[in-house]
Structure 1
Amino acid sequence: MGISERKERERAEREQRIIVAARMLAERDGWASVTVRRLAQEIEYSQPVLYAHFENRDAIVGAVALEGFAELGPALRASVARDATPAEAIEAVATAYLEFAFERPALYEAMFVLPSGLRFAKSDTPQVLRDGFGAMMAVVEPFCADPEIATESFWAALHGLAELERHGRIRAAFRGERVKYIVSIFANVS
């Protein structure tokens, strides 16, 4: 291995340490605690080293969000049983999406709430974002003529439910009933 390969490997390792530390701090203390200064202390590098990897905090949040999308897409796809009916598939994805939001609140916040610099629905949208959207569209598509619009609406409904429940605005005990209601709406879309 040459010097340039070693330096690139070390750079990638430092970048991953920053991402892991940001995610850990956010999960433990919330995103308000994740600052460049605090991350530098956490991983024992200077702030300029962090800035050499990430332009700003939003870029760090974006890197964490990308990891989240790399986890979300496969989780949504894995939630659908091989022999599931279309209605069962859409319900499984809706349930898996909400479980993801509640089991990984800091990660979900990075993905869908905080400024991250990520661009959705654009020509330069990262593939992992497209994959997550594709996992949702795969279960919505059997029910509609315009699967992109329907998937955006399905996603918006799930995100709204997640955020309202995460912040105690709706009753958590009725999550299953809300999922069934959402499924009934989308399973009857034309």
Structure 2
Amino acid sequence: MTGRQKAKSEETQRRVLEAAISAIENGGMEAVQIRKIAAQAGYSVGSVYKHYEDQDALIAAVDTVTLGRIKTSMSEAVDGIEDPIEQLKALARTYLAFARNHRNLWKTLFTHQLPEGREAPESHIQGTVDLLAFIAGPLKQLDPGLDDAKLSVRTRTCFAALHGLVAISLEERFVGLPDDEMDREMMFLVERLAGKGAGQG
């Protein structure tokens, strides 16, 4: 493949991915249909399949982009903050804000599943690892005695608790909380999860 051909191929892949991102932002995961994405990107259906095996592969690529955007937001949120609990609070608020502002992308990230037997792209796996590292860093500062195995478990526990609170809030069901109470209770949760004695046991 010549340099020009490679550049053209990369441009096609980028435009198709952007079209899929736009489709999910506006209509949710169900809006990703290869024929419609091809038309929106300005390419043939065959051109889409040259870069993405199927609809699931295209959605997985969008999920990787979403993970990257969350990572960027979190990195900016903790920049200049030294206190580990304040870092965790900033991460929690940022995560909630991203979920609210990009609800369909966020929802797709956690609801889309690849067909049985197909592994997630390495970029997706690495993106998940990078996000959890934002939480693991402050937790390690708070409890230096945690070994890698316990730190991994504690990190996942903290993320699961926060994610659950955010998910319930966004569903706007009877257990959801108004904005001001949501922030207060989210900070309460962070303090309890990462506060004194969190590493014991």
Coarse TM-score class (shorter-chain normalised): 0.7 to 0.9
What is the percentage of aligned positions where both structures have the same residue? 23
Q: Does the alignment pair 1:149 with 2:147?
A: no
- 1:117-165 superposed Cα distances (whole Å, 9 cap, x missing partner): 6649xx8864333222211211222234222111111111122122212
CA–CA distance in structure 2, aligned partners of residues 102 and 61 of structure 1: 20
Alignment RMSD (CA, Å) = 2.2
CA–CA distance in structure 2, aligned partners of residues 96 and 124 of structure 1: 22
The alignment's TM-score, normalised by the length of structure 1, stands at 0.87
Q: In the alignment, what sits opposite 2:27? A: 29
Provide structure 2 residue ranges, at least 5 long, that are not aligned to the other structure: none
Aligned partner (choices 66, 69, 84) of residue 68 of structure 1: 66
Moved more, 146-155 or 82-91: 82-91
1:47–1:124 CA distance, 2 compared to 1 (3 A): closer
Q: In the alignment, what sits opposite 2:139? A: 140
CA–CA distance in structure 1, aligned partners of residues 70 and 119 of structure 2: 16
The alignment's TM-score, normalised by the length of structure 2, stands at 0.83
CA–CA distance in structure 1, aligned partners of residues 102 and 64 of structure 2: 14
> 1:68 is aligned with what amino acid?
T
CA–CA distance in structure 2, aligned partners of residues 99 and 55 of structure 1: 33
1:13 Cα deviation after fit: 0.9
> 1:137 is aligned with what amino acid?
A
Conserved in 2, the CA contact under 8 Å of 1:118 and 1:125? no
SS state at 2:43 partner = coil
Q: Does the alignment pair 1:78 with 2:85?
A: no
1:124–1:31 CA distance, 2 compared to 1 (3 A): closer
Moved more, 87-96 or 29-38: 29-38
Q: In the alignment, what sits opposite 2:177? A: 171
1:113–1:143 CA distance, 2 compared to 1 (3 A): farther
Aligned partner (choices 167, 183, 186) of residue 193 of structure 2: 186
1:156–1:118 CA distance, 2 compared to 1 (3 A): farther
Q: In the alignment, what sits opposite 1:161? A: 165
Q: After TM superposition, where is structure 1 displaced by more than 6 Å over at least 4 residues in a row?
A: none
> 1:111 is aligned with what amino acid?
L
CA–CA distance in structure 2, aligned partners of residues 47 and 22 of structure 1: 13
Conserved in 2, the CA contact under 8 Å of 1:62 and 1:118? no
Q: In the alignment, what sits opposite 1:131? A: 130
